[in-house]
Structure 1
Amino acid sequence: MKKLIAIDLDGTLLSSNIEISEENVQAIQKAQEAGHVVMICSGRAPEDIKTVIAQTPLKCPVAGSNGTMVLADNKLLSQISIDKNNVKSVANILNEKKYPFKIYSSQGIFVASTWTERMLAFLEQNQEVSKGLTPKEYKFMTEQPKETDSIKIFDHIDDVLNKENIAIQKFFIPTISGKTELISTLKEIDGISITTSGPFNIEIMDTNGHKGNGIKVMAEYFNIPIENTVAIGDNFNDVPMLEVAGLSVAMGNADPSVKDIADVVTLTNNEHGVAHAIEKYVLTNN
């Protein structure tokens, strides 16, 4: 029976060292050779996902920016964007509170020219985060990104919104102090959903933009019944795809509430939990 396996990246397929183990690679290849479809469903932008996967021999369709952009066979199957008025409203709130943020779009990731200044202030206010960072991680987080094909720098939100044919899929906001208050303020905006991919951030999409949509679109494209899907994840932004999938698998390192809603729990991301899940719940039953 052909299955669709949707796998999250950070905290799931990637180890703590941000690497995909040989065990995980081999298990995915075995699943593909057995006729199953393996997709990557991540909060990362599609370009970023492809860069990570390109470091391995794997080839997989992707659902990026929390399932708001779904791509297979070099085709864009689905794109769910935030209403432009809502983009402006969110940006105004974040700017008023001086939060650092990134905007994921159909034309790359937009980073404010104030990123370094705001990140330094964020880390100063949240010592529990900065104390846990290595010098390399601190430099990576606070360094002003340079403009590339996929990274764009902007001064004002109108600079982004005025781009021709642009579609905004996601806001990514590092936050701890004031997080509850910020979420409460953002919830007053109709038409957006708020989630998190870790304890130190929040992510904003359109109400219909989530990983559950990503796995549904991919299952329909490959003509696989939704009951024949498997989702593997570790955090709150994975919950929509875990709820939709025929079999939901939480990582051993997953948030306890994510484990509670999953059908089964596998090993951690540092113990090749994805490979273990594929072997046990897909290949063994094949």
Structure 2
Amino acid sequence: MKVFVFDLDGTILMDSHSIHPSNLKAIGLLLEKNKKIVFASGRMLPSVRKLLQRYFDKEFPIIAYNGSVVWTPEHGKIMELKIKPQRASQIVRKLRSLNVHRQAYVDDKLVVEEDNEHARAYSEHSGIELTFVDDLAELVEQHGATKLLAIAEPERLDAIIPELRQEFEDVLIFKSFSNYLDFVPSQTDKGRALKVLAEKLGFDLREAVAFGDNDNDVALLRSVGLGVAVRNGTKSLKEVADVVVEENFLGGPGNFLLDLFDRGWFD
């Protein structure tokens, strides 16, 4: 295998939002073997880059916003998909009517119209400052949105998902965390984004390994030669994975790779 693709939150990050030492050690060894490393996250591109800069002195190809954006250090953004302005505005207004926190990702900025605990917690989690506007619906009606996010208690989101999917059939709606509901362009997923990256950089997806934890990683794991889920992952993801490893807080992906190193798999 020549390419290794890592989801961040819930996969190589512990619940403290730090990369587990076993994962850092394994990634370091992969780099020594000249393997290509890719990070694929639902996070904003600036958030992913900022997090990785804490651990590495180089930059990597990144799939951000759950596949809406593909970025490389050499080429910048090679793909960027957006929810159309009118549709983005309709979604914001719908979430507002349901009294659910909503935020938009516009030109790599995290934009909100209310200062509340959800917005502040997300800002701290992502390491990105909030941008406040008076009317979020008006903003996205002018610019569109790379992604929209609703935040609420898991049960609350579960209750409104059927209605939202029926009303906005042309937008992909799914949970990236139990309390996060993502809205992205319908043609968006991490698997398609990885194919775009593979075509640009010239690698074979059959020679790629991908690690994930959530339903937004299903397409990613299906697109590669070896799909690996962490034990804390969702049932749907573990059903499509070729291998299930230890939980994220135990460094499951790293321990799996370190065991392969010990067995001489990379010699």
Task: Report the TM range for the smaller structure's normalisation.
Answer: 0.7 to 0.9
Q: Which runs of 5+ in 2 are unaligned?
A: none
Cα offsets for 1:209-243 (capped at 9, x unmatched): 11112211222222111211111001111111112
Check the 8 A contact 1:81/1:209 in 2, yes or no: no
Amino acid at match of 1:20: I
What's the CA shift for 1:47? 0.4
User: Structure 1 CA distance, aligned partners of 2:108 and 2:228?
Assistant: 33
Q: How does 1:96-107 map to 2 (within 5 A)?
A: 96-107=97-108
Partner in structure 2 of residue 57 of structure 1:
56
Q: Which residue number corresponds to residue 71 of structure 1? A: 71
The equivalent residue for 2:265 is 285
Aligned to 1:130: none
Where 1:77 maps in the other structure, the secondary structure is strand
Identity of aligned residues (%): 23
Tell me the alpha carbon deviations over residues 77-99 of structure 1, each in whole angstroms, 9 at most, x when there is no partner.
11111111210111111011111
Q: Give the drift of 1:285.
A: 3.2
Question: 1:157: how far off?
Answer: 2.8
Whichever residue aligns with residue 168 of structure 1, its letter is A
8 Å contact 2:109–2:131 — kept in the other structure? yes
The DSSP-based 3-state class of the residue aligned with 1:253 is coil
> 1:36-71 deviations in whole A, cap 9, x for unaligned?
111110111010111111111253221111011111
Structure 1: distance between partners of 2:221 and 2:252: 16
Decide whether the 8 Å contact of 1:49 with 1:64 is kept in 2. yes
- Long gaps (5+) in structure 1: 120-138
User: Which is further off, 167-176 or 36-45?
Assistant: 167-176
Aligned twin of 2:110: 109
Corresponding pairs, count? 259
Alpha-carbon RMSD: 2.5
Instruction: Tell me what 2:25 maps to.
Output: 26
CA contact (8 A) 1:47 1:150 kept: no
How many angstroms apart in 2 are the aligned matches of 1:159 and 1:89?
Answer: 10
C-alpha contact (below 8 Å) 1:39/1:60 kept by paired residues: yes
Matched ranges for 1:29-178 at <5 A:
29-57=28-56, 59-74=59-74, 75-112=76-113, 114-116=114-116, 119=118, 140-141=120-121, 151-161=130-140, 166-175=143-152, 176-178=154-156
Tell me the distance in 2 between the aligned counterparts of 1:97 and 1:26. Answer: 45
Structure-1 residue corresponding to 2:161: 183
Tell me which residue corresponds to 1:222. 201
How far apart in 2 are the matches of 1:109 and 1:225? 34
- How far has the Cα of 1:186 moved from its partner? 1.6
Q: Secondary structure at the match of 1:60?
A: coil
Q: What is the aligned partner in structure 2 of residue 14 from structure 1?
A: 13
1:231-272 deviation digits (Å, cap 9, x = unpaired): 100111111111212111001221233212111011211221
CA spacing shift, 1:266–1:87, aligned 2, 3 Å? same
The match for 1:125 is none
Alpha carbons of 1:167 and 1:285: their partners in 2 closer, same or farther (altered >3 Å)? farther
8 Å contact kept, 2:26–2:257: yes
- 2:20, 2:250 within 8 Å by CA — same for their partners in 1? no
Partner of 1:135: none
Letter in 1 for 2:107: S
Deviation at 1:276, TM superposition (A): 2.2
Find the residue that maps to 2:100 and give its secondary structure.
coil
State the 1:181 CA deviation: 3.8
Write out aligned runs for 1:255-274 (5 A). 255-274=234-253
With over 3 angstroms needed to count, the CA separation of the structure-2 counterparts of 1:282 and 1:212, relative to structure 1, is: farther
Over residues 78-131 of structure 1, what are the superposed CA-to-partner deviations in whole Å (9 max), with x where a residue is unaligned? Answer: 11111112101111110111111121222411112x2418x5xxxxxxxxxxxx
- What is the identity, as a one-letter code, of the residue corresponding to 1:204? F
